[in-house]
Amino acid sequence: MVKMSEFLMELYGEEIPPSAQLLGESELKGSIEKLLIDKKINYSELQTFSTPRRITIVVSNLEKQNSEKIKEIRGPSTQANETALKGFLRSQGIKNERDLLKKKIKDKEYYFFKQKVVEKNIVEILAEEIPIILSSIRWKKSMRWSSIEEKWSRPIRNILCVFNRKVIKFPFAGVNSNSYTFPNYHYSSKKIKCENFKYYRKVLEDHYVILDSNDRQQKISQNLEKFCKQKKIELNKNEELIRRVSDSIEWPNLFFGSFEKSDYSLPEFLLTTIISEKQDNFSFKNQDGDLSNYFGFASNVELKNFKNLVRGNQAVLKARFKDAEFFIEEDKKKSFSERLEMLSSIIFYDNLGTLRERAERIQKLCEIFAKLNKISIDENLDNLLFSNVDLTTELVKEYPSLQGYVGGFYANLFGMNKQLCDAISNQYKFNLDEKKINLSLVLMLSQKFDSFFGFFFSKKKISGSGDPFGVRRTVLSIINILIEMKISLDFSKIFDAIISLYKSQGIEVESDFSGIVEFSNKRFTNFLLDKGFNLDLIRSTLEENEFNPFELLKKINLLDVFLKTRIGEDFYKSYKRLNSILKEDEISMNIDKTLFEKKDEAKLYSDVIVLNKHFNEKKDNINNNFFANISNSINNFLDNVIVNSEDQKVRNNRIALLAECKRTINLFFTLPKA
């Protein structure tokens, strides 16, 4: 009978940054999963958890392996000479031929030796492999401590590792594994013996540790909701902040304070950023939608007398607000023109010039996008050169996420019009605030396209699933905006324009546009999959050398709706018949109507002409009648006409007709391959 067991391991140590916790969980989970698969060890569930102090993995219902197996080793044929047989006996450590078996394989008989093989059990495998796995985890930042050779995100102080209630013994990073864990260090440092996950999880909670990050997030959210109801205010929702806070504490306790109304002299976007980004505090809105002067923060400890803690946090916030006021006063001492010159000393990408030159390109791109969208930006054209001067400000250096917002804020202080201030503020946003063809849209697209193509011109590479340069997010934002605003734009037009702008600045760039299309198609595919489209349908719509997201979405919508109709289903069947006749390398030739021998040839030709005309007149629409007609004509042609005529001219003419038929259909869409 196969026995099932449980494996539990906890790596406990000094505080791991929130960003490293998920990485550690993911790496550990992937490595243990791979080990179990490689060793053919079955299990029912594998879970990982993390807190600032610990990373835990539990594997349920592992199948305990038998420690002994029988292995049959094939020797020479029974017809082989005595030398071969003796060599086999010697190699297996056998003295007597009687210890061998004889077995037939197909028509030939061979000697076999049954050998008992003692395999390592799970405990031996885990004890041997876990130190190797822990050493191989790829932290973004790791460290050594004391004279320890191994590296980890932060120093490890204890390793709990048990299988089926017994310790799996191994050393790692100067620590020997054992069956103990530690509680929340704010409350106790007494070690606690644990032999299974159920008890481990309960005893941690009894000692002020909530193991699951989702449970900690839920507790934080519930406390925030309760406070909002009491004060009749609303939380400024920030899921990333809740996750970050939950990953910085083991036992969330929320406290609330307020700041003075005099601090409202700072812009609201700056106040909320200081509260949330610098202090990891929560901010709120009044019922009228304006920023409330309440704030909330989490602590690892429960306090009955928490007034001093709240006062301390209020004082820190006050100091942050004063720092921001100082930065603003310092920044106001330099004009936008002076800051534009400062951009001349900041490199955009290696070999791609400076941020001053980028500002000039963005200004020119704004002209191009304004012309494409038939709006005038003449009033603001000169000042668009200042769109990214806020990169030189002290405020953006302190709060990089506020790039754009700071520029718009200072533009307003310097008396520029609201349309320009809004455009500068909004240029880095992922989505539009309003669906209007205006200056904000023009600057947003110009900034994003220059950033996106600039990355490819720089020859930098994206590896893995991360997005350190924000390129994936940028192209998704462009796709979203073009589709939302129903703007038909082939990326090649902007690509050519930006290449020309670089050349006019004396900067030579090289890039393969097909690489940009390939990258964009991957992001667009994910975008469409999220909307529920079929992958084969998506792939059939994409092009290799052009990318126009709005037109592609229209095309796939048309095809998706059409193929779900009865006419669409019948048409697809006839198209597959047509496609099966034609070879991919078939050379297109002119069609000679005088070579038609049957009415079905003439009818198909006539319907192709009509369909071609329909495309030129209404390419955004599928008239079912046209496709029903051509579907019937294809079927009649293939049923009644012999394509491979003995007359070579007739044969080539018929293939040319079918090829033209397919080409015309593909004007509307490329159907999924049969």
Is the domain of 293 the same as that of 418? no
Q: What is the pTM of this model?
A: 0.79
Is the domain of 362 the same as that of 288? no
Is the domain of 182 the same as that of 223? no
Would the CA dihedral through 139, 140, 141, 144 be positive or negative? Answer: positive
What's phi and psi for 529, nearest 5 deg? -60, -40
Contact present, 354 and 346 (Cβ < 8 Å): yes
Mean pLDDT of 330-337: 97
Mean pLDDT of 546-555: 92
Tell me: the pLDDT tens digits for 513-525? 989 999 999 999 9
In the chain, the amino acid numbered 91 is: S
| Domain-ending residue, one of 159, 174, 206 | 206
In the chain, the amino acid numbered 515 is: G
Is the domain of 97 the same as that of 27? no
Nearest to 408 by CA among 397, 368, 396: 396
Read off the DSSP letter of residue 586. Answer: P
Is the domain of 439 the same as that of 387? yes
Mean pLDDT of 60-69: 70
Q: Is the pLDDT of residue 526 over 50?
A: yes
Task: For residue 553, tell me if it sits in a domain.
Answer: no
Tokens coding 559:
């095809």
Task: For residue 545, tell me if it sits in a domain.
Answer: no
Q: Is the pLDDT of residue 487 over 70?
A: yes
Tokens coding 591:
């069609």
Is the domain of 101 the same as that of 133? no
Tokens coding 657:
């007709």
Is the domain of 50 the same as that of 181? yes
Residues contacting residue 142 through CB under 8 Å, at least 6 positions apart? 151, 152, 153
Is the domain of 253 the same as that of 324? yes
Task: For residue 560, tell me if it sits in a domain.
Answer: no
Task: For residue 307, tell me if it sits in a domain.
Answer: yes
Is the domain of 50 the same as that of 133? yes
% of the chain exceeding 90 in pLDDT: 65
What's phi and psi for 292, nearest 5 deg? -85, 155
Nearest to 539 by CA among 548, 530, 529, 531: 529
Residue spans of alpha helices (H) in 187-306 = 197-206, 213-231, 239-246, 268-273
- At 599, the pLDDT band (50, 70, 90 cuts) reads very high
User: The domain that contains 28 carries what CATH number?
Assistant: 3.30.70.260
∠ CA 217-223-228, nearest 5°, is 125
Task: For residue 525, tell me if it sits in a domain.
Answer: no
Query: Which comes out higher in pLDDT, residue 612 or 587?
Result: 612
Nearest to 487 by CA among 422, 441, 533: 441
Is the domain of 199 the same as that of 290? no
Tokens coding 177:
């594994």
User: The domain that contains 423 carries what CATH number?
Assistant: 1.10.3210
Between 15-19, 130-134, 228-232, the lowest mean confidence (pLDDT) is in 15-19
| Domain-ending residue, one of 78, 99, 118 | 118
Task: For residue 529, tell me if it sits in a domain.
Answer: no
Give the chain's mean pLDDT. Answer: 90
Is the domain of 366 the same as that of 431? yes
Between 359-363, 431-435, 498-502, 582-586, the lowest mean confidence (pLDDT) is in 582-586
Contact present, 357 and 348 (Cβ < 8 Å): yes
Task: For residue 53, tell me if it sits in a domain.
Answer: yes
Tokens coding 671:
């159907």
User: The domain that contains 651 carries what CATH number?
Assistant: 1.10.730
- At 664, the pLDDT band (50, 70, 90 cuts) reads confident
Tokens coding 360:
């000039």
Is the domain of 322 the same as that of 228? yes
Tokens coding 585:
């390398």
Contact present, 489 and 365 (Cβ < 8 Å): no
Which structural domain, as residue segments, surrounds residue 142?
A: 4-65+122-206
Task: For residue 634, tell me if it sits in a domain.
Answer: yes
Tell me: the pLDDT tens digits for 4-38? 689 999 999 999 998 899 999 999 999 999 999 99
- Into how many domains does the chain fold? 5
| Domain-ending residue, one of 331, 349, 366 | 331
